[in-house]
């Protein structure tokens, strides 16, 4: 049996006042999780050049690394 069906079955057996309390709680949860998904940041289109000049590449970037680097020697 599905979860919704179990909730419905059990709720029907409870007094009307408790059913209203359950409804209030379900509405609270709905609003809580609905706001979370609405507040999720939207992924916009990327724009090139926003951080131009913030990183600098060394002049010897393409230079071969010494053997000590590959062998783990210091």
For the stretch 3-43, pLDDT in tens is 999 999 999 999 999 999 999 999 999 998 887 665 666 67
CA-based angle 23:2:8, to the nearest 5? Answer: 30
The span from the CA of 23 to the CA of 8, in Å, is: 11
Whether 39 and 32 have beta carbons less than 8 Å apart is answered as no
Cβ partners under 8 Å of residue 8, min gap 6: none
Read off the pLDDT of residues 45-72 as tens digits, 9 standing for 90 and up: 888 988 888 988 999 999 999 988 889 8
Question: Per this entry, what is the length of the chain?
Answer: 74
Higher pLDDT, residue 37 or 2: 2
DSSP 59: T
**What residue ranges do the domains of the chain occupy?**
1-38
């Amino acid at each position: 049996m599905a979860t919704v069906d179990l909730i419905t079955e059990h709720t029907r057996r409870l007094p009307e006042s408790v059913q209203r309390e359950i409804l209030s709680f379900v509405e609270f949860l709905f609003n809580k999780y609905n706001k979370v998904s609405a507040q999720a940041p939207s992924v916009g289109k990327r724009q090139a050049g926003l951080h131009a000049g913030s990183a600098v590449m060394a002049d010897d970037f393409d230079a071969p690394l010494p053997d000590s680097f590959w062998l783990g020697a210091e």
